Structures are given as C-alpha cells and as structure tokens.
A and B are shown apart, each in its own frame.
Chain A
Amino acid sequence: MSAKANILAKLRNSLAGTQPIADDYDVALVTEPWRYPAGERISRLRQLMEAVHTETHLTTTTDWPALVERLLAVRQLPSLLIAPGTPHGAQLAAHFAGRPGLPVLKAYDRPVEEWKAELFDDTPASLTGTLGAIAATGSLILWPDRHEPRLMSLVPPVHFALLKASQIRDNLYEVMQEQRWAAGMPTNALLVSGPSKTADIEQVLAYGAHGPKDLIVLILEDA
C-alpha cells in the first residue's frame, strides 16, 4: 500500500462509527469586536500601521503622482519599479513622461529570470496597488498578478502602496465574504501589515529583516 493509503486507512479506522462535528462557526465573534464607524477606519488603520513603522499619507487620485515624486526626491531614490499594465502604473508613467531629471521608472514587464540580478541589486523602490485594507489589524490586501508580480512588494527595500479609502474594511472575515475569496484564490494573496521586521535577537525589534525596510502607504481619500 502507498503511504497515502496507509495514512488514510489508519485515520478512517480511528474515526469508524463517528460523525463529523457540526459547524458552529460564530460569525459575530470574529466580526462584532472588530467593527468601526466609517469615519474611524482610516484613522485606526493609520494608527496601527504607523505603530509598526509604516509611513502613511493622505492624498487624492490626482495628487498622488506628485506626492510620489516628492517622496522619491526626499529619499533620494534614483529609480522606482512600476507595473506598467495597471491603471496606476500608467498614471505615474504619464506624470513622469517627458520630464528629464526625475527618477527612472522601471517596468516589471518580463519574467524575473531575465533581470533577477537587477531586481535584487539595483531596484531601490517599487509602487503597487492594493485590493483594500483591514482596519482591525492595520493590514493591506495584495493579490499580485501578471501585471503586478509577487516580488514587487517584497524585494525592493522601499515599497509604496496605493490604497483607495473606500476599500478599507473592518475585519478579515468581512473582506473574505465580500470579495468572495473562497470562490477562487489567486496564485498568491497577501496581507501586509508593515515593513518586514524581526525580534529574534533578544526580543529587540528591528525593521528591515528580509523584505522591505520601508512601507509607505498612500491613501486616496477620494477613491
């Protein structure tokens, strides 16, 4: 018999004559303690994210490219990785177009194998969109895809994330239901709740472990 058959046979034998325990999932318990008035969602999200060293900015659908430009200048970042196939990637590219002297916009438009060394060694920052955020835990929701690949939000040391204020929800359960996650998960889905960190040495918190050292969230108030 195969390992699979053996394992399953043992488990089935142990369950002989028993019934599965009924599903008594308590929706209220995972939602009620985590509800916020609409007006407080943004402030709670910012407060939680800033507590773990995230930088947040309130901006608008028209102003954000200029804000990115300023933030890049403040940090003296020479280039920014963008997803040209996304609306926000295109908007930023349009804002930068024809203006020499600005940081270089790099497009993630080919398989990682073709430019892995450059991604790791010479890509100081990236900009991605988000699917929304969760006020309860201060988390961004990212579903990387063909246009905005997985490594964009992981390898560059500085990660800019765009968040539409209208897409901030109260809690994870609500997000899963509303966005119908169970009906089809992408290859990779992520909750990101700050820049990478570790407390593995004597419980002293240090930021910039393996992922981004800086996470900068741009909240679009009018979107």
Chain B
Amino acid sequence: MSQRIPAVEIPSRELKHNAHDALQDRQLRGNMRKAMDSLMAKRLASMPDDFEREHLREMGNHVRARALSQLPDLLERLETNLTRNGVKVHWAETVDEANAIVLSIIRAHEARQVIKGKSMVSEEMDMNHVLEAEGIEALESDMGEYIIQLDHEKPTHIIMPAIHKNAKQVASLFHDKLGEAYTEDVDQLIQTGRRVLRQKFFEADIGVSGVNFAVAETGTLLLVENEGNGRMSTTVPPVHIAVTGIEKVVENLRDVVPLLSLLTRSALGQGITTYVNMISGPRKSDELDGPREVHLVLLDNGRSQAFADGELRQTLNCIRCGACMNHCPVYTRIGGQAYGTVYPGPIGKIISPHLMGLENTPDHPSASSLCGACGEVCPVKIPIPALLRRLREENVKSPDDPHKVMRGQGSKYSASERLLWKGWRLLNTSPLAYRAFGLLATRLRGLTPNQLGPWTQHHSAPKPAARSLHELAREHLEGK
C-alpha cells in the first residue's frame, strides 16, 4: 500500500525522516521510476541535435540573464504596458501581502467560487487554504492538481503534480470522493474530471492562474498548457487574477521564442504545448467574452534575497520546466512530497532556502550526491551543483560572520565541527604534525572505533593500513 503523507504534516525540516519513509514505499518508488524514465526519454527524443540543444540552452541562459540584469527596469516597463492595456498590477513582498491582495479583489466582487489554473506561486502562498479559511471555495482545475486536491495532498512535481499516483489510486480516489463507478480507464477518469470541472468553470466568479513568461515590451502574460484549463480559468470567469514571481519577466516578445521551445521540450518532450495563451488585457468594450478585469500580482517572497548575490541570482533564471527533477537520482527515489517544500527536487533545493530560510530547509542543500545531472539538463544552464555547494557553505557560516547573504545562514553551524576541521587543516599543513598523526594512526589502528555514526550504518568502518604509503615509499626508495 502506498503511504500518503498528509500535506499539513510535512515540515521541510523533516526531510531526512520523510526521505527514509519514502524509500520504504515500494509503490511510490515504482510509480516515480517509471514516470521519470519516460520523461527523460521524451526530453532527449525532442532534442536530438546536440548542436541545436546546447546552443539553445546557452541562448536561454543569456535571455534570462539579460532580463535579470535589468530586472527593476523591466518590471516597471511591464507594469506600464500592462496598465496601458487595462491590467491592474499589484506588488507583494510576502505571501501574506499577496494573499491580502487576492482576498481584497475577491471581496470587492463578493465572490464565493474561485477556479484555479496551475500556479506554483499560488502554492507558495498556500492560497487554497487561505481562501477556504475565509469561506471561499478554491478549486484546482489542472487534472493533476485536481486529483491531489481531492486527496488533500501537495503537488509532488511542478509540471506533473500527481505523478506519484497510478491509475488505480486515482480510480479509488474518484470512486471514494466523487461516488463514481470504479474504473481504471484513464480516458474515463479524465472525462469525469472534465465533467465536474466544466460546471465549476461555468459557475466560478474568479479565475486564478500563474504566468510562464511576462513580456515587458508588450505587457503580455504568456501561459503554456495542454489541457485548456488555463484558458478556461483566464477566459470564462468575469475576473482573472494572475500571480507570479518577480523574476518571470523577459525583455522582448521575441525572447519568448527560445524559452518556449526549451520549456516544452525540457518539461514534456513536446515541441510545443497544445495551447500557448498570450493575454495582453481584459475584455475590450466591444468584445463579447473574456474577463472584464485582469489583475497581476507580482510576488517577491525571498527572490530579492537570491537576486542580491551575483552567484545565487542564477537561481532566478529558472523557467520551471522540471527537467532537473526528472533527472535527479534523489528525487526519483524519494518523490516530491518528502522535501516538504512547494518546489521539490534540485530547483527546490536551491530556491526553497530563499523562500523559507535555511533554518527551515537545513538539509536540502545536502540532499544531493552532486552527480551533476540537473546542471547538465537545465535549459537555462543554472549551475545547480555549484549553487548547492554554495548553500552548504552558507549553511555552516559562523554566526559572527559579518557577511549576511541569506535568511537562516549558519543554521548548521557547529563550533565543535568547526574545531575539528581546524585541527584537520593543521594536521595536513604541518609536516611534523602530519607525520606524528600518521605514525599514531597506523601503530594504534587496533583502537579505531567500529561505530562511526551514519557512515557505519551502510559501510564498514575505515581502518588505517599497518603502514602508511609514505613509509612504504620511503622504504622502497631507500632500497630496503
């Protein structure tokens, strides 16, 4: 039986514990392995030409870096152009501010029902729970999101939220929660979702969506999707609220061309998604449909902290394709929920410390073998392994280090560990100490402990050789 980890009980601080549990879950591991293998194969099949792929990744990196290098100006330009088009732009430093903005719009319309297209930023805001607490129904309309919302779970993947479930599990869920006849036929399951959600699109007072790219030049919000729920959420209800992070802006409309191609191929192995939805304003006075009001909420939530450091800023290149997850040996084995963060996998490990503080994600930078797969596939060439190493450094910084880089830095600092490494450095930089240590270690090898904490859980304890290589070499050279 697959173990379901209820959303409310996943503190990100419990990563180690969660990972341990997840590793025991054979169902989860089987589902994840199968899905990741298929996503990796699809990506590669859609990018068969090495030259094109690698140069386009380079270009993707340049486009994103260029946008970030003028981010404040582009954000202002975006606001100016959106405002000219009739879109109302809001700014929020924190998720609380963002939720307050959304709530105030909802209240102004006395809205009761909100239908949501897929939006990871709204997950950051925990918008569904905030709205529910106010008596407002917030329903996810992406099929995957809908499934996990029905089961009171959090997304396990940023592109495929319900990837950890198989058809049998969805069949039981629809049977139990919706009273549908049990069927494992995926077409029938999807038709059930379609029927239920169509009614909700019809009724909803407000549609909420995310944004894939916000184009400063034209004031355009671009949304990419296959299902049509994004189009429904942004077109049918009388009010559309888009929420996005401040980093999502690009300079020119043409910048979307390489990024779009990289995004859909890296994420799903598709040359393009079924729909690319470009929204530049609310319904004009003579138009017959579309929302009468469009709002954009720009959320910071720790992004400006990552932005402040030239190296860590690269985290904000991310176009949320999920490829780093699909290729991550850790993610594939423990699934997305074990991370206890909105963004799991490699991108989660480098962005979550900025969103939540290192004190709440102390083990995330270390939960990596540094195999480098994530960095190799990232379509915008974020050096994820290097950023993980950097976060590990920030994680053990001394509390009196004057250089403040991020919230929660030094959360794994330990004075005794620091002392140990100082001693180690001394041993290895002073010939006298090094020799004395070598002599002691080899002659007293019988005394080395058999239990060495976590290491000896899965390995045998290391034992020094009877004589060091130095000694043997010296003897050899002296012709003994």
* Chain A residues proximal to chain B, CB less than 8 Å: 2-4, 6-8, 10-15, 18-26, 29-30, 33, 48, 52, 108-112, 116-117, 120, 136-139, 145-146, 149-151, 154-155, 171-173, 176-177, 181-182, 184-204, 206, 208-212
Most buried by A among B49, B91, B251: B91
* CA–CA, A114 and B170, complex, Å: 37
Known contacts A111-B289, A181-B253, A191-B275: A33-B52 contact under CB 8 Å: yes
Pair B271/A48 contact, Cβ less than 8 Å: yes
Q: 4 nearest interchain CB pairs?
A: A211-B228, A200-B144, A209-B227, A196-B228
Question: B271 near A136 (CB under 8 angstroms)?
Answer: yes
Contacts of B165 in A (CB 8 A): 201-202
Answer yes or no: B198 CB below 8 A from chain A CBs: yes
Q: Render B22-64 as a binary contact track against A, CB cut-off 8 A, 1 for contact.
A: 0000000001001100110000000001001001100100110
* Chain A hits for B471, CB < 8 A: none
Indicate whether A193 sits within 8 Å of B273 (C-beta atoms), given known contacts A172-B257, A211-B232. Answer: yes
- In the complex, whether B274 has a CB less than 8 A from a CB of chain A is yes
Interface flag for B290 (CB, 8 Å): yes
Determine the distance from Cα of A111 to Cα of B284 in the docked complex, in whole angstroms: 12
A131 to B34, CA, bound (A): 40
Contacts A7-B304, A24-B62, A154-B231; A189 near B93 (Cβ below 8 A): no
Whether B66 and A20, one on each chain, are in contact in the complex, defined by CB atoms closer than 8 angstroms, is yes
A162 CB to closest chain B CB (Å) equals 19
Contact A33 B49 (CB under 8 A): yes
List chain A residues, Cβ under 8 A from B52. Answer: 29, 33
CB nearest neighbor in A for B188: A206
Contact partner of A21 among B66, B163, B227, B235, CB < 8 A? Answer: B66
B217 at interface, CB cutoff 8 A: yes
B interface size (C-beta, 8 A): 97
Q: Nearest chain A CB to B22's CB is how many angstroms away? A: 19
Q: Is the pair A112, B280 in contact by a Cβ cutoff of 8 Å? A: no
B228/A185 in contact, CB under 8 A: no
- Min C-beta distance of B319 to chain A, whole Å: 16
Q: How far is the CA of A177 from the CA of B166 in the complex (A)?
A: 44
In the complex, whether B435 has a CB less than 8 A from a CB of chain A is no
Which residues of B (407-442) have their CB < 8 Å from a CB of A?
Answer: none
Q: What are the residues of chain B within 8 A of A145 when measuring CB–CB?
A: 287
A172 to B162, CA, bound (A): 31
Question: In the assembly, what is the distance between CA of A198 and CA of B186, in Å?
Answer: 10
Partner of B143, one of A110, A136, A201: A201
| Complex CA–CA separation, A190 to B144 (angstroms) | 23
Interface presence of B2 (CB below 8 A):
no
Pick from A11, A171, A176, A198: contact of B71, CB below 8 A: A11
Whether B70 and A20, one on each chain, are in contact in the complex, defined by CB atoms closer than 8 angstroms, is yes
Q: Complex: how many Å from CA A27 to CA B83?
A: 30
Q: Which of B73, B75, B186 contacts A206 (CB 8 A)?
A: B186
Contact of A151 with B289 in the complex, beta carbons under 8 Å: yes
What are the interface flags for B246-284 relative to A under an 8 Å C-beta threshold, 1 for contact and 0 otherwise? 100001111101101100000010011111111111111
Least distance between B292 CB and chain A CB atoms (Å): 10
